[in-house]
Structure 1
């Protein structure tokens, strides 16, 4: 019976110390970054009362929803081998919609078993396809490696 208790205690201690580390969790910003979009009016950065965003990921538009009192939005881009992503912006839920096409080149590299492959986007350029309510575009940083810097400014 002594040996049985010792065996159970050894198994419990072994399980306690064998718990996995952070290798299977992708929380440190190691995943594919999103594009940061900010807004300008009269040459200055501004806060919008409301904004609704939809993105075409290759199988039709996906509504990302709407937010109020917003100064920037992080938008995930396509992760397939497409050279562009179409993004749609509205100021009201049922209002007019502006279409922006963002083109880029991608690089993929392996991060970890939990995160898998990370894509980075380079040579970003944007084209305003449908101009109302967005009046014009202004380029920001032309590569996406993290989510700190603004990549695109929408001019209203």
Structure 2
């Protein structure tokens, strides 16, 4: 009978111990934002038949894969102390990738115990090296604190 009361006490106490606050999980989209890139043809926003983008994040290269019939993509930027991220863009398998260097300054902001710290990007500037099918760049909003506004336009 002693053991039965002890086991019953443990079961009664376990829900109290396992309860956590709502800050345990970062669900509200308060993490580090990605860069929004839209595509233009002849000066107008257009869907790309196919585009492949790689992002060099320092320790690894993120392959976003082939995107078909899209007018925009979200690209992650580096979260270390590097002042730039290199992006590589191509529109066909036979084409060489075009490098786009995105420069910025970062600002760390504490969000919550569950989310930790997020990075915001300021003074965002992009430079195109060796144009290919990607002809030019057009700057959008020059800071990134959420994923709503377009930061860069690729002109094809």
Structure 1 runs of 4+ with >6 Å offset: none
1:60–1:23 CA distance, 2 compared to 1 (3 A): closer
- What is the TM-score normalised by the length of structure 2? 0.88
What value does the CA root-mean-square deviation take over the aligned residues? 2.1
1:40–1:24 CA distance, 2 compared to 1 (3 A): same
> Following superposition of structure 1 onto structure 2, how do residues 2-13 of structure 1 map, counting pairs within 5 Å?
4=4, 8=8, 11-13=10-12
Q: Shift of residue 91 of structure 1? A: 0.6
5+ residue gaps, structure 1? none
1:85–1:12 CA distance, 2 compared to 1 (3 A): same
Q: Shift of residue 59 of structure 1? A: 4.2
Please give the alpha-carbon distance, in whole angstroms, between the structure 1 residues aligned to 2:2 and 2:62: 63
5+ residue gaps, structure 2? none
Is the CA contact 1:52–1:93 (under 8 Å) kept in the aligned structure 2?
no
Q: Shift of residue 66 of structure 1? A: 1.3
> Following superposition of structure 1 onto structure 2, how do residues 1-156 of structure 1 map, counting pairs within 5 Å?
1=1, 4=4, 8=8, 11-17=10-16, 18-59=18-59, 61-156=61-156
- What is the TM-score normalised by the length of structure 1? 0.88
Is the CA contact 1:97–1:130 (under 8 Å) kept in the aligned structure 2?
no
1:15–1:79 CA distance, 2 compared to 1 (3 A): same
Please give the alpha-carbon distance, in whole angstroms, between the structure 1 residues aligned to 2:85 and 2:2: 67
Query: Alignment partner of 1:15: what SS?
Result: helix
